[in-house]
Amino acid sequence: MSSDAPKREFEPGSVGLVETRYFNFAQPPGELTLECGKKLGPVTLAYETYGKLSPEKDNAVLVLTALSGDAHAAGYHADDDKPGWWDVMIGPGKGIDTDRYFVICSNVIGGCMGSTGPSSVNPETKKPYGLSFPIVTIRDMVETQRLLIDHLGISVLHAVIGGSMGGMQVLQWAVSYPDRVRLALPVATTGRLSAQAIAFDEVGRQAIMADPDWKGGDYAGTEGPRRGLAIARMVGHITYLSEQSMHQKFGRRLQDRAEYGYGFVPDFEVENYLRYKGDAFVKRFDANSYLYISKAMDYFDISRPTGSLRAAFVGVKSKFLVISFSSDWLFPSAQSRELAQALRLNDAEVVYTEIKTDYGHDAFLLESGELSAIIGNYLAFARDGGDRKGT
Amino acid sequence: MSSDAPKREFEPGSVGLVETRYFNFAQPPGELTLECGKKLGPVTLAYETYGKLSPEKDNAVLVLTALSGDAHAAGYHADDDKPGWWDVMIGPGKGIDTDRYFVICSNVIGGCMGSTGPSSVNPETKKPYGLSFPIVTIRDMVETQRLLIDHLGISVLHAVIGGSMGGMQVLQWAVSYPDRVRLALPVATTGRLSAQAIAFDEVGRQAIMADPDWKGGDYAGTEGPRRGLAIARMVGHITYLSEQSMHQKFGRRLQDRAEYGYGFVPDFEVENYLRYKGDAFVKRFDANSYLYISKAMDYFDISRPTGSLRAAFVGVKSKFLVISFSSDWLFPSAQSRELAQALRLNDAEVVYTEIKTDYGHDAFLLESGELSAIIGNYLAFARDGGDRKGT
């Protein structure tokens, strides 16, 4: 940018202009061996960082994403109207304070926002992988993040934090790398996806795969299964909200009309809103990535290798702040309490907090003074050497 | 059947062999004027009856159906392996005791089980209506049932009873015909469908309409939108169960395998179960009927004409037994309590009972000694002149 260009101004608390970077590893003949047993390479991870890494490299906070999150968690790209997906939480003076912490966020493997995924080109065939992309798991996501952290020269993360699928990665980090995570903050998550959540994921996948434009996954160069992906997002979106928040936000209000339409066009605001959400998602997300990432969530069961949650957490050394939301019915508070209990049975230091809110699962993404304050205080308290047993 | 044929034996408590009958009304030039303002005719209602109408014609119980229920509520057709959909409730000595009551059940208008609906032939075009079928509402369903009751020579129904959409019809009966309903038993229902439930219905409709085999509704003579309808049923079915019941029934158990399949075939029992449920539904249900009946549920708002639930029930004369299920999150107990409260504000005699169960919304269809006992006692108590104010 020329020095004559007008300098863009950002609101207070913003990290300002940011760029996505790319970390390439496991170049051929090197390859990443995945949990499914298959090999994948080369692999790229898209990532962003905010704030400055301290000389001691002891202030890094790794932010982990939910299903559709990308590396762009905060600030603005040059062409952005809206900031990154967790800008409410990350910035100078915010919950994850970039004046104190060096924040890292990457797009997951299997994704479609710059990291290697099913829409990437398979170097062997020179064509997009499609369904020939191997199944990736939460553990694989964490493994690639670990390589990124190594690359950045960081031995110990001050904290790993994430909501929903991000929380699954938090748990996997704490289990896989107990010596490299000081604080673990799993938010609105679970140690193993419930049957109900698997069922909703399967409906979404069926909707995508039933769309003839999916073409068995080989839709590269075409518009792809837009209707199927929109339906998958619609059903997902309902599960991210609560009955209360939908009632408050929409109720039975009609869309642009005083009377029922008596037809199959949308009558209710909630129908219009869902269609809008579905269509907006299709513009920014790849249908095959939806299949892969939802499957990774379904497969997530931190207790599977050992047979119980309690045994899964043998050897963890991090301190934990477990957060759930009272109206989250996709990852209900009971599942967070179960996590906290299993951690305590391993003598982990655990704080568990349920935040009262009507916003459902999506509460972790929304502006919330309460969530920011709880996270900010915990990060600072624990950093300053505070020590406490969970409430 | 020849008298030489072996006599089929039925289990104790069964109403035995039954047949569906057909009531034709509003023959041309007579027509039914629907709530949407359009006219429809001729109209057929498929219905069944069990038990004997008393000489005083004062023992009739009208059973009202949920979305996919048909007229065949109890007993066996000649070719049936399984009995009708509410056989656990209807029969000699059962909750709705056919030794005491004359039970009537009809398939709703808009349905596909013998009553006039979008798959019926339009007499003007000699082709199936498809989307040229007019939108029908819960009030229209009740209006056609009222004509059937007239036809059967019954002035006053001892009781109207139904779960889910059947409960909506119960409420509409009590409001539209206060002098013709002695006891009203709305089960697992609501006075107005919630935004969340509308949203799930819309997802189902979108899945059907996105299926190219739907062909704008003109799929008669073809297999129709099988995948879309199966997806609609899958999402619906999840909402009929509870998180607890899915956990107990399936948990994270794998289907016919010890290890993850690492692909997009079903891994989990719950996925297989949903696919089975979806496919089974496609064999017995018409996709356009699904569109019409789900829309009728969305439009249901007993408070709409007056602006409030309390005002909606001005003038009701029936006694009410309102029943909800503790784990029903599609029609939560709070909505039943709201109904009971609005009825009491109109001095109606109301008993409200919440049944503790993990079975979710579908609890009303399942074998339950408790539900049968509560309904049986209420029908008998109120019939014998008992009088009580709600708990």
Residues A122, B63: Cα–Cα separation, whole Å: 60
**Residue B2 annotated as catalytic:** no
- Contact between B210 and A231 using a beta-carbon 8 Å cutoff: yes
Residue A384 has pLDDT above 80, yes or no: no
State the nearest Cα–Cα gap between B40 and chain A, in angstroms. 15
The closest of A143, A128, A225, A216 to A176, measured between CA atoms, is A143
Helix (H, G, I), strand (E, B) or coil at A103: strand
Q: For residue A243, give the nearest of B194, B227, B268 by CB distance.
A: B194
Predicted pLDDT at A3: 53
What is the DSSP code string of A283-301? HH--HHHHHHHHHHHHH-B
Contact B192/A at CB under 8 A: yes
| pLDDT tens-digit map of A248-270 | 999 999 998 889 999 998 999 99
The closest of B315, B386, B299, B321 to B61, measured between CA atoms, is B321
Contact B359, B222 (CB under 8 A): no
- Contact between B199 and A238 using a beta-carbon 8 Å cutoff: yes
| pLDDT tens-digit map of A70-118 | 999 999 999 999 999 999 999 999 999 999 999 999 999 999 999 999 9
To the question of domain A21-194+301-383 being in CATH 3.40.50.1820, the answer is yes
Q: For residue B198, give the nearest of A249, A262, A268 by CB distance.
A: A268
- Contact between A262 and B134 using a beta-carbon 8 Å cutoff: yes
Number of residues written out for chain A: 391
| pLDDT tens-digit map of A145-164 | 999 999 999 999 999 999 99
Q: For residue A332, give the nearest of B243, B250, B267 by CB distance.
A: B243
Predicted pLDDT at A389: 40
Helix (H, G, I), strand (E, B) or coil at B185: strand
Catalytic position from the list B328, B333, B368, B372: B328
Contact A47/B at CB under 8 A: no
- B-facing residues of A in 7-26 (CB < 8 A) are none
Residue to mutate among B132, B139, B209, B238, with most A CBs inside 10 A, is: B238
Q: Which residues from A are below 8 Å from B135, CB to CB?
A: 262-263
CATH topology of domain A197-297: Rna Polymerase Sigma Factor; Chain: A (1.10.1740)
- Angle (nearest 5°) at CA B324 between B244 and B297: 95
Predicted pLDDT at B257: 86
Q: Which residue of B has its CA nearest to A295?
A: B264
Residues A209, A275: Cα–Cα separation, whole Å: 19
ipTM of the complex: 0.94
Angle between helices A226-240 and B195-210 (to 10 degrees): 170
The closest of B121, B160, B165 to B140, measured between CA atoms, is B165
Question: What is the domain partition of chain A in residue ranges?
Answer: 21-194+301-383, 197-297
Predicted pLDDT at B387: 46
- Contact between B246 and A195 using a beta-carbon 8 Å cutoff: yes
Contact B55/A at CB under 8 A: no
**Residue B361 annotated as catalytic:** yes
Average per-residue pLDDT for chain A? 94
- Contact between B270 and A238 using a beta-carbon 8 Å cutoff: no
Whether residue A186 is preceded by a cis peptide bond, meaning omega within 30 degrees of 0, is no
Q: For residue B260, give the nearest of A227, A231, A299 by CB distance.
A: A299
- Contact between B264 and A209 using a beta-carbon 8 Å cutoff: yes
Per-residue pLDDT of chain B (391 residues; tens, 9 = 90+): 445 556 788 999 999 999 999 999 866 666 899 999 999 989 999 999 999 999 999 999 999 999 999 999 999 999 999 999 999 999 999 999 999 999 999 999 999 999 999 999 998 999 999 999 999 999 999 999 999 999 999 999 999 999 999 999 999 999 999 999 999 999 999 999 999 999 999 999 999 999 999 999 999 999 999 999 999 999 999 999 999 999 999 999 999 888 999 999 899 999 999 999 999 999 999 999 999 999 999 999 999 999 999 999 999 999 999 999 999 999 999 999 999 999 999 999 999 999 999 999 999 998 678 999 999 999 997 665 544 443 3
Residues A134, A111: Cα–Cα separation, whole Å: 12
- B-facing residues of A in 269-298 (CB < 8 A) are 270-271, 274-275, 291, 295, 298
Q: Which residue of A has its CA nearest to B227?
A: A210
Q: How many CB pairs under 8 A join A and B?
A: 150
Q: Which residue of A has its CA nearest to B269?
A: A195
State the nearest Cα–Cα gap between A227 and chain B, in angstroms. 6
Residue A322 has pLDDT above 80, yes or no: yes
* Answer CATH for B21-192+303-383 from 3.40.50.1820, 3.30.360.10, 3.40.50.12280, 3.20.20.210: 3.40.50.1820
Cross-sheet strand order for the sheet of A60-64: A21-25, A43-50, A102-106, A60-64, A157-163, A181-187, A319-325, A350-355
Exposed / middle / buried, residue B337 (Cβ in 10 Å: 0-12, 13-18, 19+): middle
Contact B232/A at CB under 8 A: no
The share of chain A scoring above pLDDT 70, in percent, equals 94
Q: Which residues from B are below 8 Å from A262, CB to CB?
A: 36-38, 134-135
- Contact between B200 and A238 using a beta-carbon 8 Å cutoff: yes
Predicted pLDDT at B126: 96
Average pLDDT over residues A359-374: 91
**Residue B237 annotated as catalytic:** no
| pLDDT tens-digit map of A204-241 | 999 999 999 999 999 999 999 999 999 999 999 999 99
Predicted pLDDT at B388: 43
Please tell me the least confidently modeled range out of A49-63, A223-237, A364-378, B212-226: A364-378
State the nearest Cα–Cα gap between B242 and chain A, in angstroms. 8
Beta bridge partners of A157: A181
Predicted pLDDT at A1: 45
| pLDDT tens-digit map of A122-144 | 999 999 999 999 999 999 999 99
Q: For residue B263, give the nearest of A135, A246, A250 by CB distance.
A: A135
Q: Which residue of B has its CA nearest to A210?
A: B227
Residue A242 has pLDDT above 60, yes or no: yes
- A-facing residues of B in 308-337 (CB < 8 A) are 329, 332
